[in-house]
A and B are shown apart, each in its own frame.
Chain A
Amino acid sequence: MFKYQFRWDTVWGSFDFLMGGLQMTLVISAITLVLAMVGGLVIALLDMSRFRVLRWIGISIGEVVRNTPILVQLLWVYYVLPIVFGVRIEALVALIIGLALYQASFISEVYRSGIQSVPKGHREAAQVLGLTPLQSFNRIVLPQAIRMTLPPLASNFVQLIKFSSLGAVISVSEITRRGMELSATNFRPLETFTFIAVVYFFICWPLAMAIRFWERRLQAR
């Protein structure tokens, strides 16, 4: 039988330490989401540019980022960028840059499909009534596209909360890293990492459920 003396008090004793890490996790995720939303817009604009060179750059960034592992990208940003540019990058900054770039490449697709979800006929109706292409985009396409884009953006936030745990590898002091440090001193990895997994779950799960509900309501329209 499984004979193990649980010592949850080792976790409660460091509750504030771990919660401080959780705060860090959420702050990283929020900052990264904002940066990724802007970066995603830049990539989407490059993808749709009239100039072939810009299109090529946008598409290349997207393909490279989507087809290499996020962990390798983080290690690359943290260890290689400083060598190339001769500057020291804080682990936290490296994590945010790496994650933001990764998410931006997915968010650019979210934008693109949001815009494409608006039927061509809606734009044609605007055109026939005399609206300029800019008016048509601002008044007809964008409001509909944003509505379609919000749930996937929220899902990206959930993903970021989970991906930010990779920061532990480059010693960013978010909750997973703090758990590693704690278990190295209390020798209680089972309690520590179980607790951390439960924390992640109870943050991500309600968010994911809310998003699913939200998407279903949008589809019902």
Chain B
Amino acid sequence: MSSTSPLILADGITKRFGANQVLTRVSLEVLERDVVCVVGPSGSGKTTLLRCLALLEEPSEGRVVMEGVPISTPSPDKQVKAAARDVRSEIGMVFQHFNLWPHMSVLQNLIEAPIRVKKMPRDKAVAIAESLLKKVDLFEKRDAYPARLSGGQQQRVAIARALAMSPKVLLFDEATSALDPELRREVLAVMRQLAREGMTMLVVTHEMGFARHVGTRTVFMDRGEIVEAAPGSAFFDAPQTERAQRFLQQFADE
């Protein structure tokens, strides 16, 4: 793959659910080590865009391209499907509601995919899982079941579970929205650490502080379109469009 092609690219994606058009020709590229933050009012299509990139939704028009190879198109052919299978686990995702598997312990949650998908030997998977649990500061919870953990702890486990597949890019779908403020902080701290370590991330979020200080680029979406995109904190310091200004105004009032 040429180093110039983006790690993952949304190429003119339109998404309709029945008569309801949720995304309109959205194009977005994420380069290696980028931390792209997608902000915007609820219902603006941020999550749908992320789900298209995570291959959970098929675009109605446009395509998803990973390192120059199309991996998702409307009614994909064999080649695209095969490409999608190959890169499937290189795209990690962290969900708003964690989605840990409740019938498995924390450790089992982490080793399930490496063992089943990567055919990794169990002890190697366990070693990786344990080091990841140390990283998110939850090693002592390795044998606990998700129901015994706080929301913040569950989300940190979910991040570790995604990292266990060593993805090339990690997608965050409002990863802190379901959490109380004090629990948000511990999750944001982990995300910040990942960004520092050079993880490529696409972060749908309402955390303006995170977008401003950690993001390398901020993308503002409204009504299914990308309205504005600016590097780093430029979006917050000098929003160009009226819609973005109005959106940011709400946070200034807080």
CB pair A139–B116 under 8 Å, yes or no, is: yes
Q: Residue-by-residue, is B98-127 near A (CB-CB < 8 Å gives 1, otherwise 0)?
A: 011111000000001100111000000000
List the A side residues contacting B113 at CB < 8 Å: 126, 129-131
Chain B residues near A131: list those with CB within 8 A: 112-113, 116-117
Is B101 a contact partner of A128 (Cβ separation < 8 A)?
Answer: no
User: Interface size (B, Cβ < 8 Å)?
Assistant: 25
Bound Cα distance A125, B118 (Å):
16
Instruction: Give the CA-CA distance A128 to B199 in the complex, in Å.
Output: 18
B103 near A129 (CB under 8 angstroms)?
no
Residues of B contacting A130 in the complex (Cβ-Cβ under 8 angstroms) = 88-89, 113, 117-118, 165
Residues of A contacting B: mostly: helix
For the complex, give the distance between the alpha carbons of A221 and B102 in Å: 9
Q: Does A52 contact B (CB under 8 A)?
A: no
Q: In the complex, what distance in Å separates the CA atom of A214 from the CA atom of B96?
A: 31
* Chain A residues whose CB sits within 8 angstroms of the CB of B9 once the complex forms: none
Bound-state Cα–Cα, A213 to B91, Å: 43
Q: How far is the CB of B149 from chain A (nearest CB, A)?
A: 13
Give, as a whole number of angstroms, the nearest-CB distance from A119 to chain B: 7
Expressed in whole angstroms, the Cα–Cα distance for A143 and B109 within the complex equals 14
Q: Which of B153-194 contact A (CB under 8 A)?
A: 158, 161-162, 165
> How distant is the Cα of A152 from the Cα of B20 in the complex, in angstroms?
40
Nearest-CB distance from A127 to chain B (Å)? 7
Q: Are B103 and A144 touching (Cβ within 8 A)?
A: yes
B210 interface hit (Cβ, 8 Å):
no
| A129-B147 contact in complex given A121-B97, A121-B99, A139-B112, C-beta closer than 8 Å | no
Q: Please tell me if the beta carbons of A119 and B165 are within 8 angstroms of each other in the complex.
A: no
Is B99 a contact of A129 with CB atoms below 8 Å?
A: no
**Does A125 lie within 8 Å of B117, measured CB to CB?**
no
Q: Cβ of A122 < 8 Å from any Cβ of B?
A: yes
Which B-chain residue is minimally distant from A128 (CB atoms)?
B93
- Contact (Cβ within 8 A) B101 A125: yes
| A124 CB within 8 Å of chain B | yes
Say which residue of B56, B92, B116 sits within 8 Å of A127 (CB atoms): B56
Residues A128 and B54 in contact, CB atoms below 8 Å apart = yes
Among B101, B103, B116, B161, which residue has its beta carbon within 8 angstroms of that of A135? B116
Whether A7 sits at the interface, judged by CB under 8 Å, is: no
Contacts of A121 in B (CB 8 A): 95, 97, 99
Contact B147 A221 (CB under 8 A): yes
Structural contact, B103 and A128, CB atoms closer than 8 A: no
A24 lies within 8 A of chain B by Cβ: no
**Alpha-carbon separation in the docked complex, A143 to B161 (Å):** 20
Question: Which A-chain residue is minimally distant from B91 (CB atoms)?
Answer: A128
5 contacts across the A-B interface (CB closer than 8 A): A121-B95, A129-B165, A130-B113, A130-B118, A140-B101
Chain B residues with CB under 8 Å of chain A are 54-56, 88-89, 91-93, 95, 97, 99-103, 112-113, 116-118, 147, 158, 161-162, 165
Cβ-closest 4 pairs across A and B: A130-B89, A129-B113, A121-B99, A130-B117
